[in-house]
Amino acid sequence: MASPARRQEPHCKPGKMPVDGWEPLEEILADVTWPSFARAYEQDMAGTYPFFSPDWPKALWQEKVDRLSVWVHRIDGRITGVLFVQWDTHLMFRGRKVAWVIAHYLAPWGRQPWAGYRIWKTLLKEIKDRGVDLVFAQTNPQVEADAFFRRLGFAADGQGWMRAM
């Protein structure tokens, strides 16, 4: 799937230039700011998910066959947030295109008021523009996200969230 242009957010604080957009995973992994982001992500996930170990070769393959895209949030060029989106259909919703937001993380240095909400709102618009019918997301069970996802238009779906586009 073609990657739309990255967008600079209008809510920037002076000196801070947030930009959101689809980026190739290979470039993300090679980015000089990735190691510090990855360390923060792994540290936050380790307590809840002791077997947390991303399979980057498989992710790169999924991206190559248009089954995975990565939405990146940067501040002044630094990777600050990443959302991994898998594209598929759903066996129980015949003919419906589905986006599974399989992982999403905003690093501590990017956790400003409403930042996560703005990132998700922009991502959901991009997902809708791709003709997706349903979006599924799951959160870390230690994070209370009920109000967050409901405000975005999601409904609780077991341990995760679902939204019709």
Verdict on whether the full-model pTM lies above 0.95 = no
d(CA 5, CA 22): 8
> What is the per-residue pLDDT for 149?
93
pLDDT averages per 10-residue partition of the chain, 165 residues: 44 62 97 96 89 94 97 95 95 94 94 92 96 92 87 87 87
> What is the per-residue pLDDT for 77?
93
Q: Are strands 160-164 and 134-138 parallel, antiparallel or unpaired?
A: antiparallel
Q: Are strands 134-138 and 93-106 parallel, antiparallel or unpaired?
A: parallel
- Other beta carbons less than 10 A from residue 148's beta carbon: 15
**Domains assigned to the chain:** 16-164 (3.40.630.30)
> What is the per-residue pLDDT for 15?
52
